[in-house]
């Protein structure tokens, strides 16, 4: 009986030490504060916002925009210029392959929602896409008025035009398809870029496209569902020890705020661990669905104190001034 009690006591002591270790090893309370301000990621540049709660798989978001507060259209060079000027550190944009071997910067799989064109976006040449009015379909009053009609002709840029126009800026590039040949095509295009330029770019998208891209261009930072799983599942299992899987290296993590508090070391210790593995951490709003972002001053209040990762926002015009105000 005494032996049994001694064994129970040892077990309790072991568990106490283990729990204490897990707490200390993963608590941001014992992590040196980083004075750096968070980086801001502007989704699609300076875009026309719309209510996220109304979005479904088939929603044409151009038809449900709020009354316009600025003249910019998403995924265009003017919108990216405005986003960087407003305070964005990184701009996200979408790419679609064209029939003449280029990439068009455009979100939608088909053209009917936003433009005066028809058909699948990738079924056109870049020259054909240049003829379209990408502001044609935007309305905030159920079609009574179309404030951007005639103002978006020729504004759909190519990937090459964007990266040439912004030779020193950082971008998150979204491959909208998931075919291997898209990854191969993008790898071939980016292969001529110097290492310093590739360090300013991250590419995310479907598993197959990203896998091929990474195989052919190992130096590029990437993200897909597969890369997220290969990094985060082992980390969730063993991250309490401080272990960071090698699969996290040179990747990007998009972490929904809904699940962030369950991550070992969240926020500062986790971000520091990932930074040491050259992995970037981007916090997105809600459960991560429909590109939800931190889009208001009230949203920013939900962020952990001293958060210094990357913030995903659809309203860089609101969030950048708010962040600057907080850090005065």
3-state secondary structure of 153: strand
Secondary structure, 3-state, 221-280: EEECHHHHHHHHHHHHHHHHHCCCCHHHCCEEEEEEHHHHCCCCCCCHHHHHHHHHCCCE
Average pLDDT on 239-247 reads 95
Task: Identify the pLDDT of residue 36.
Answer: 76
Question: Which of 74, 254, 110, 94 is CA-nearest to residue 182?
Answer: 94
Judged against a pLDDT cut of 80, whether residue 252 lies above it is answered with yes
Q: With 60 as the cut, is the pLDDT of residue 317 above it?
A: yes
Least confident of 154-168, 243-257, 283-297: 283-297
pLDDT attached to residue 12 = 62
pTM attached to this predicted model: 0.93
Q: What's the pLDDT at 19?
A: 56
pLDDT above 90 for 325:
no
Model pLDDT for residues 161-204, shown as the tens digit of each residue:
999 999 999 999 999 999 999 999 999 999 999 999 999 999 99
The pLDDT tens digits of the residues spanning 2-51 come to: 666 666 666 666 655 655 555 556 766 656 555 678 999 999 999 999 99
| The predicted structure's pLDDT at residue 30 | 59
Give the single-character DSSP code of 146.
-
Task: Return the pLDDT at 37.
Answer: 86
Give the pLDDT score at 2.
Answer: 64
Cis before 137? omega within 30? no
Confidence (pLDDT) at 288 = 78
pLDDT tens for each residue of 99-146: 999 999 999 999 999 999 999 999 999 999 999 999 999 999 999 999
Strand positions, DSSP E, the chain: 39-43, 90-97, 103-105, 170-175, 201-204, 221-223, 252-256, 280-284, 310-313
Reference 201, options 231, 181, 230, 221; nearest CA is 221
């Amino acid at each position: 009986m005494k032996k049994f009690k001694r064994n129970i006591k040892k077990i309790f002591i072991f568990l106490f030490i283990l729990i204490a270790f897990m707490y200390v090893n993963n608590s941001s309370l014992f992590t040196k504060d980083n004075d750096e301000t968070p980086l801001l990621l502007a989704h699609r540049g300076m875009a026309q916002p719309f209510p996220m709660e109304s979005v479904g798989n088939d929603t044409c978001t151009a038809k449900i925009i709020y009354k316009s507060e600025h003249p910019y259209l998403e995924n265009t060079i003017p919108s990216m210029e405005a986003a960087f000027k407003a305070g964005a550190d990184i701009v996200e944009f979408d790419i679609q392959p064209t029939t003449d071997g280029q990439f068009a910067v455009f979100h939608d799989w088909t053209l009917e929602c936003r433009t005066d064109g028809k058909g699948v976006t990738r079924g056109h040449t870049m020259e054909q896409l240049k003829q379209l009015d990408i502001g044609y379909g935007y309305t905030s009053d159920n079609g009574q008025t179309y404030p951007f009609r005639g103002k978006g002709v020729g504004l759909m840029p190519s990937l090459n035009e964007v990266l040439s126009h912004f030779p020193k800026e950082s971008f998150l590039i979204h491959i909208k398809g998931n075919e291997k040949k898209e990854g191969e095509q993008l790898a071939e295009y980016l292969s001529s870029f110097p290492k310093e330029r590739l360090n300013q770019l991250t590419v995310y998208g479907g598993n197959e496209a990203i896998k091929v891209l990474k195989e052919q261009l190992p130096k590029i930072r990437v993200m897909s569902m597969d890369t997220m799983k290969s990094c985060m599942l082992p980390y969730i299992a063993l991250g309490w020890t401080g272990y960071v899987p090698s699969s996290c290296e040179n990747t990007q993590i998009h972490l929904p705020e809904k699940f962030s508090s369950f991550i070992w070391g969240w926020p500062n210790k986790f971000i520091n661990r990932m930074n040491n593995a050259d992995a970037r951490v981007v916090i997105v709003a809600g459960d991560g669905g429909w590109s939800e972002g931190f889009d208001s001053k009230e949203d920013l209040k939900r962020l952990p104190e001293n958060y210094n990762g990357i913030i995903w926002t659809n309203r860089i015009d609101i969030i950048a001034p708010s962040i600057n105000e907080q850090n005065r």
